[in-house]
Structure 1
Amino acid sequence: MAPTTRKARTWNAYSILTLWANDVHSLGNYAFAIGLFALGMTGWQILGALGIGAVLLFALLNLSGFMGEKTGVPFPVMSRIAFGITGAQIPTLLRGAVAIVWFGIQTYLAAQVLSVRVIAVAPEAASLELTSFLGLNTLGWICFVALWAIQLVIVSYGMEMIRKYEAFAGPVILVNFLSLAIWMLFESGFNVSMSTGVPKSGIEMWTAMFGAAALWVSIYGTFVLNFCDFTRGAATKQAIVKGNFFGMPLNMLFFGAIVVVLTGTQFSINGQVITSPSDVVGAIPNTVLLLLASAALLVLTIAVNLMANFVAPTYALTNLFPKKLDFRGAALISGTIGLVILPWNLYNSPEIINYFLGGLGALLGPLFGIIMADYWLIRKARINVMDLYRSDAKGIYYFTRGVNYRAVIALAISSVIALLLAFVPAMHVVGPFAWFLGSAAGALAYLALAKRQHDLADIDGEPIAVTPTY
C-alpha cells in the first residue's frame, strides 16, 4: 500500500504498450467486435467506431494514469482522497468484487479452450468428461486448476512479475494474430468481404458507430478506474502517454484490421461469420501449428486475467487488512475465492451475470466521475500523499470518522441513475452510453455536494515510499 519510490518505478512506455497489446486482443473483445458485423456494420464502419473509442480511451486513461504517476499509490489509497481513509473501502471493494468473479469466470473459459485442445491431441482424454464434481467434469477440473495455479504463481511474485509476463506475452499475441490474418488471406485468395449483410447508412450508421464506440469505452470502465494500480510504477508521464498512444489508438486500429480480415475472409470463403479467433485456430489443419496457436490464446487469456481481474482484488484485500496481508498473501486469498465460488455455475446463471455483475459494473461509471471530479476539479491535482496514510482526525482525508459522506451521497444518487440506465427497458435506447451518463451523473452530483474549501498542500510521499522487493 505504500507509495513507490521514484527510483523503483520500472514501467516504461513498452510496459504499458504490452499491457494494452494483451488486453485489447482478448477473446472477449474479438467476440464484441465481430458481433458488430452481425448488426449490419461494415468493416470500415467498425474501424471508425474502434478509432473513436480508442481516442476517448486514450484521453481517459491519461487522466487516470497521471494520478498514479504523481502519487505512486494504488487505487485503494487513491480512493481515500475523495472517499476518506475508511470510506475508500466502498469503491475498492466494489471494484474488487467485480474483478474476483470475472477472474474465476475467465479462468473457466480458458479451461474450456484447453480441454478442447487436450482432446484434439489425446482423444482418449474425452473419457474424463464422463464424470463430474460440483458441476464440472474431471477434465474441466484438471484444466481449470492447472491454469488457476499458473496464475497464482505469477501474481505471487508481485507487480514486477506481472510486468515481465505482460512484456513477454505482448509480442506473442501480436505475432500470433498477425499470422492468423495472413494465413486467412491466403486461404481466401486475398478476398476480404467488408460487409456480411445490408450495410447501414445515414443517421443509422452514425448512431451505430458512436454507440459501438461508447460500448467499447464501457468495456474498459474497470481499467480507467484503477489504472493507477499500474501507473504507480511508471517512470514518467511521457511513458504513460507514449504507452497509451501506441497501445490504444494504433494498437486498436491493428486489432480492428485483424477483426475485419479474419471475419471478412471467412465470410468470403463459405458465407459464415466466425464468433471468435478460436474458430479460426480450430480450423488449422496442421496439428503442431494448431497447438502453437492454441498455446498463444492461453498465454493471452492469462495475461488479460492477471491485469484485469487479479490486481484489483489483491489490492482490495490488502487495503482491507493492511496489518495482516501483503501482496502475495492477498493474491493467494483472491485466487482461492475465485476457485471456491465455482465460477462455472455462476457463468451458467444469466441472473447472476446480468443482475449481480451487471449491477456492480454499472456503479463503476459513477465512481470514476466522482474520483476524477475530486482530483482534477476540486483539488486541482494537489495531493498530500503523507496524509493518505494518517488515520487520525488531523489528516486532511479523515473527513467525518474517516468517511467523506458527501462523496458517498453523490455515489448513492448517481448509482440510482446508473442502475436505471442499466436495467429499465425504456432506457434501452441510451444503453450504449450508460457508462458516460453514469460518470457524468457522479461528477455533477459530487461537484454539487462537495466542499470547495480544502487544504491544497501538494506534498509527495517520498519520505515514506518504499522500493518493492520480490
Structure 2
Amino acid sequence: MEKGTGSPTAVEGSVSSIDGGLWQRLHDKVKLEVDESTFAPEGTRWSNKDLDPVPPEFQTWRTYNFLTYWIADAFSISNWRIGASLIAIGLSWKLALAAVAIGNLVTAFVVTFNGFIGARLHIPYTIQARSAFGFYFSYVMVVFRVIISIFWYGIGTYTGAECVQTIIYAWAPSFRNVPNQLPESANIDTGFMICYFIYWLLVLPFHYIPAHKLHWFFTFKAIVSPIAGFAIMGWVISETGGGDRVFSYGNELSGAKLGWAFMSGVNAMIGNFATLGVNMNDFARYSKKPNSPWVQLLVIPTVFIIMMLFGIIGANGSRILYGEVLWDPMTIVNHWTSPGGRAAAFFVAVAFLIANIGINISANSISVAVDLTTLFPKYLNLRRAQYVCAILGAWAMTPWNILKSAESLLTFMDGYSIWLAPISGILITDYWFVNKQRVSVPDMYRPDGIYAYEKWGTNWRAAVAFVVAFTPLLPGFAKAVTPSIEVSDGASNIYAIGYFFAFLSSSVIYYSLSRIFPPRSEHSRRTIKEYLEEANMESRL
C-alpha cells in the first residue's frame, strides 16, 4: 500500500471516536454524581437525593419560621403593586380591601391544607403529585407548574431591577439621563436594562444556599421589609394632608361592570399566590413539626391585608400628589428628589431589594429547581437547577412585556391560575377526602407501585377532573389575552371567577369519580384504599 492511501474507514472511525469521546466527556461532566435514593429504584432515573423525603437533621423549620416566611413574602413590591392595581382598574378603597381580604382568606385555606401534607410527609410537590395524578401523568403537572414559576422568576427579577434603579437614582441622579438605545416597542429602556442586569448578578449567589438553611434569611427579611412599607405609607399620608383625602375616592365603575371587576380583583388576589397553593410543600417539607403550617391560616390574611392596604393608600395618594395613579411604590419613591429624600429613597429601596431577593427564591427559584430536578434528576440538583431558572426566567420570558400596565398584570395573574386551581383542588381532595390522610410514600417513588394506577401510570379520574375544570375558562382567557376576540358575556363572567370555578369543580369531579370508580393499582389489582387500609397506615415511610 502506498503512503497516504490508508483506509478511509479507519480515518472516519478515528474521527467518529474522537467526537464520541468528546460527547462522552461532556456528558460525564454534566451528569451528577448522585447518591443512591433510599426510596427510588436502583439508579437515578426517577429521583436523586434532593427529591427524597427530608431527613430529620434537615427538618429545621419551626412554627415561627412559617410566620416570618409569610411576613417576608407579604411586605414586598409585588404585593404593594397588586393592591394598587385594584385602584387603577376603578375600585374604591373599600371594595379593593374587601377583594384583598376575600382573596387572601381563600389563599390561606389552600396553602395551609396543602402545605400540611408536605410538613407531615416531608416530600416536595412533584413527588406528592404522583399519588393523585399517577406516577407518569404527574410529570404533565410538573411541566405546567415549572413554566408558570419561571415566568414569576422573571417578574421578580424585573421588580428587583426597580429597586436597583431607585438605589442608583438616589446615589447618582445623573443616571436618569442615560441615553436610551432601545426602541419604544421594547417596553424597556437602556438604563433600566442596566439595572436589570445588575440585579440578576446580585441574586445569583443566593441560589447557592440550601433550602433548609433559608429560614434565617426570611426572619431577617421579615424585620427589614415592613419598615420600608410603613415609611412610604407614612410619607404619602403626611404629604396628602391626612388619611381622609386618601380615602375619599369612590368607585369609578357601576352596575354589573363594578361587580365583575370586583370578582376579577378577588380572583387576582388568589392568583397572586396560586403557585404556592400548589408547591408550598417544597418548603413545608422542611418543617420540624407536622402542625406548624396551621399558623398560616392566621398570618396570611393578616399580613397581606396590611401590605395591600399600603398599596391602596399609595395609589390614592399618588393620584392626589401627581394627578395619576402610581401603582408601583418605587415610582413613588423616585419622586423623592431632595437631598434628604434621596437618602430615604436609598434605604427604602435597599429594604425592598432584600425583600425581593427573598421572595424570588422562596416563591420561584426553589420551586423551579424542584420541578427541573424531577424532570432531569441525572443532570440537575436543586442548586444547579436554580441557575437554569435564573437564565430562563430572567431573559427568555421578557417580563418587562408582562408588567407594562396594571391591566396586563391582572390578566397574567388571572390567566395562569385557571391551571393551578384544579391542580390544588385535586391534591387537597385526594389526600384529605379520597384517601383520608392515608398514603404510601415509598410507592410515590416507584413506577410499579400502587400509584401506577390501572394503566400508563395515570389516574384518569384526576386527568378528567383537571381538563373539565379549566376548559370552560379558555374562551374567557382568550378574550382577556386578545381583547379583539368575541366571546359571550357568560364566558367572560365565569372567567372572572375562574379560580373558584376551577378549584371547586375539579374537587367535586375528582371526588365523585373516585367514589364511583375506586382507583386500583395496575400491579396489585387491589384498590388503593384496600391496600392502604390493610397496611393500617396514616403515612408509610
Query: TM-score, normalization: structure 2?
Result: 0.75
**Matched residue, 2:511:** 447
Shift of 1:46: 2.8
Determine if the alignment matches structure 1 residue 225 to structure 2 residue 289.
no
**Structure 1 residue 112: Cα displacement:** 4.4
The letter of the residue matching 1:446 is Y
1:242 to 280, 284, 295: 295
Larger-gyration structure (1/2): 2
Out of 470, 473, 478, the position equivalent to 1:423 is: 478
Give the whole-Å Cα distance in 1 for the aligned partners of 2:324 and 2:404.
29
Quote the offset at 1:25 in angstroms.
3.2
* C-alpha distance after superposition, 1:46-73 (max 9, x if no partner): 3333222232222222211111111100
Counterpart mapping for 1:30-69 below 5 A: 30-69=80-119
Distance 1:414 1:180 in 2: 41
1:138-180 superposed Cα distances (whole Å, 9 cap, x missing partner): 6545433332233232122221343332222122111111122
Taking the aligned partners of 1:107 and 1:270, their CA distance within structure 2 comes to 27
Residues 365-419 of structure 1, C-alpha deviation per residue, up to 9 Å, x if partnerless? 122222222222211111111211123x2x1112224332332233233332232
Match of 1:192, SS state, is helix
Q: CA deviation at 1:132?
A: 6.0
Deviation, structure 1 residue 266: 4.2
Report how far residue 78 of structure 1 moved.
Answer: 0.6
* Range moving further from structure 2, 34-43 or 434-443: 34-43
Q: Which residue of 2 aligns with 1:331?
A: 386
What does residue range 128-277 of structure 1 map to in structure 2 within 5 Å?
A: 129-131=179-181, 139-193=191-245, 194-197=247-250, 209=262, 211-246=264-299, 248-269=300-321, 272-277=324-329
Letter in 2 for 1:240: P
CA distance in 1, matches of 2:105, 2:404: 35
Distance 1:229 1:174 in 2: 25
Summarize the Cα distance change of 1:348–1:23 in structure 2 as closer, same or farther, 3 Å threshold.
closer
Note if 1:433 corresponds to 2:509.
Answer: no
1:409-461 Cα shifts (integer Å, max 9, x gaps): 33233332232342354222233310111122322332343342323243646
Change (3 A) 1:162 1:445: same
Q: Aligned equivalents of 1:354 and 1:39: distance in 2?
A: 10
Count, aligned residues: 458
Q: Distance in 1 between matches of 2:344 and 2:54?
A: 43
What is the CA–CA distance in structure 2 between the aligned matches of 1:105 and 1:258, rounded to whole Å?
20
Which residue of structure 2 lines up, in the alignment, with residue 86 of structure 1? 136
RMSD: 3.3
Q: 1:161 to 1:348 in 2, by over 3 A?
A: same
Greater Cα offset, 170-179 or 352-361:
352-361
SS in 2 for 1:274: coil
Deviation, 1:301, is 2.2
Of 404, 411, 418 in structure 2, the residue corresponding to residue 362 of structure 1 is 418
- The equivalent residue for 2:64 is 14
Inter-CA distance 187–236: structure 2 relative to 1 (3 Å threshold): same
Structure 1 residue 373 corresponds to structure 2 residue 429: yes
Aligned residue identity for 2:451? Y
CA contact (8 A) 1:191 1:268 kept: no
One-letter amino acid of the structure 1 residue matched with residue 503 of structure 2: S
Q: Which consecutive residues of structure 2, in runs of 5 or more, have no partner in the other structure?
A: 1-50, 480-486, 519-526
Partner of 1:403: 458
8 Å CA contact retained: 1:26, 1:301: yes
- Do the aligned residues in 1 keep the contact of 2:61 with 2:286 (CA within 8 Å)? yes
| Counterpart-to-counterpart distance in 1, 2:64 and 2:326 | 32
C-alpha distance in structure 2 between counterparts of 1:334 and 1:111, whole Å: 17
- 1:375 and 1:369 map into 2 onto residues whose CA distance is 10
Structure 1 length-normalised TM: 0.86
Name the aligned partner's letter for residue 29 of structure 1: N
Alignment counterpart, residue 383 of structure 1, candidates 436, 439, 444: 439
What is the identity, as a one-letter code, of the residue corresponding to 1:50?
V
Partner of 2:73: 23
Aligned equivalents of 2:179, 2:427: Cα separation in 1? 48
Question: How far does residue 90 in structure 1 lie from its aligned partner after superposition?
Answer: 0.9
Whole-angstrom CA distance in 2 between matches of 1:41 and 1:159 = 39
> Per the alignment, do residues 8 and 212 of structure 1 end up closer, same or farther by CA in structure 2, a change over 3 Å counting?
same
Once the two structures are TM-superposed, the CA of residue 89 in structure 1 deviates from its matched residue by 0.9
8 Å Cα contact 1:363-1:419 kept in structure 2: no
Tell me the equivalent position of 2:332.
Answer: 280
Question: Which residue type is aligned with residue 432 of structure 2?
Answer: W
Work out the CA distance in 2 between the residues paired with 1:93 and 1:149. Answer: 27
| More deviation, 43-52/229-238 | 43-52
| Residue identity matched to 2:210 | G
> Which structure has the higher relative contact order (CA within 8 Å, separation 6+)?
1
2:155/2:403 contact within 8 Å kept: no
What residue identity is the alignment partner of 1:435?
Y
**1:320 pairs with 2:384:** no
Structure 2 CA distance for aligned equivalents of residues 410 and 263 of structure 1: 40
Deviates more, 1:374-383 or 1:352-361: 352-361
